[in-house]
């Protein structure tokens, strides 16, 4: 379904970071397909490694070797998520991938982490009309996100950075730092 304003589909608008209608039928169908795969993945146990890997490979845009994600996992589409090699995500990862989520190699993700790409208009009218947008999230190599970390839309986190448990990352973090708090602030530079 094309948007009458500029001829692009809602998916094209969404992936470009422009405003789009969240309950567009094409997007709803893609999200429902992802939810089916997500439910199948979340219903598997750790002894079903080949099946779990196959479901994740089908759900996600890209999945590196020796990466483990403990169920439950929650996504919007899954296909907009790229995860590198040798990563580990503990229970309850929420990765709302309305825009791209790119996770490097050797990343450790604590339980209950939220990677949130969607944004919404501040004005009540467009929000009521179900317009939203999104900004991508990028997480570098060898990053550690402690339990309960929230990464907000548009944030990049540099290589080797550690984000303490419960931090809310609202702005980019450079490589080689430790950040904590709400909003997250740098408390240490790593040598």
Domain boundaries, the chain: 10-189
User: Annotated catalytic, 120?
Assistant: yes
First to last CA, the chain: 52
Decide if 163 contacts 169 (C-beta within 8 A): yes
**Catalytic pick among 120, 165, 168, 174:** 120
Amino acid 151: pLDDT: 98
Nearest to 130 by CA among 8, 2, 10: 10
Mapped onto helix, strand or coil, the DSSP state of residue 29 is helix
CATH number corresponding to 10-189: 2.160.10.10
Whole-prediction pTM value? Answer: 0.94
Provide φ and ψ at 116, rounded to 5°: -115, 105
Q: What is the pLDDT along the chain (191 residues), one digit of tens a residue?
A: 444 468 899 999 999 999 999 889 999 999 999 999 999 999 999 899 999 999 999 999 999 999 999 999 999 999 999 999 999 999 999 999 999 999 999 999 999 999 999 999 999 999 999 899 999 999 999 999 999 999 999 999 999 999 999 999 999 999 999 999 999 999 999 98
SS3 sequence, 46-88? CCCHHHHHHHHHHHCCEECCCCEECCCEEECCCCCEEECCCCE
Calpha distance 72→100 (Å, rounded): 20
């Amino acid at each position: 379904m094309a948007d009458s304003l500029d001829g692009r589909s809602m998916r094209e608008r969404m992936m470009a970071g422009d405003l789009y209608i969240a309950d567009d039928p094409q997007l709803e169908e893609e999200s429902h397909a992802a939810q089916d795969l997500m439910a199948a993945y979340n219903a598997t146990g750790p002894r079903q490694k080949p099946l779990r890997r196959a479901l994740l490979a089908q759900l996600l845009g890209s999945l590196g070797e020796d990466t483990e994600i403990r169920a439950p996992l929650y996504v919007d589409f899954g296909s907009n998520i790229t995860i590198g090699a040798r990563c580990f995500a503990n229970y309850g990862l929420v990765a709302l991938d309305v825009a791209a989520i790119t996770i490097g190699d050797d990343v450790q993700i604590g339980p209950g982490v939220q990677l949130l790409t969607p944004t919404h208009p501040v004005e009540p009218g467009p929000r009521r009309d179900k317009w939203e947008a999104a900004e991508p999230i990028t997480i570098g190599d060898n990053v550690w996100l402690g339990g309960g970390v929230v990464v907000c839309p548009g944030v990049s986190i540099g290589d080797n950075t550690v984000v303490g448990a419960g931090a809310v990352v609202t702005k980019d973090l450079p490589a080689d730092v430790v950040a904590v708090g709400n909003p997250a602030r740098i408390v240490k530079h790593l040598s």
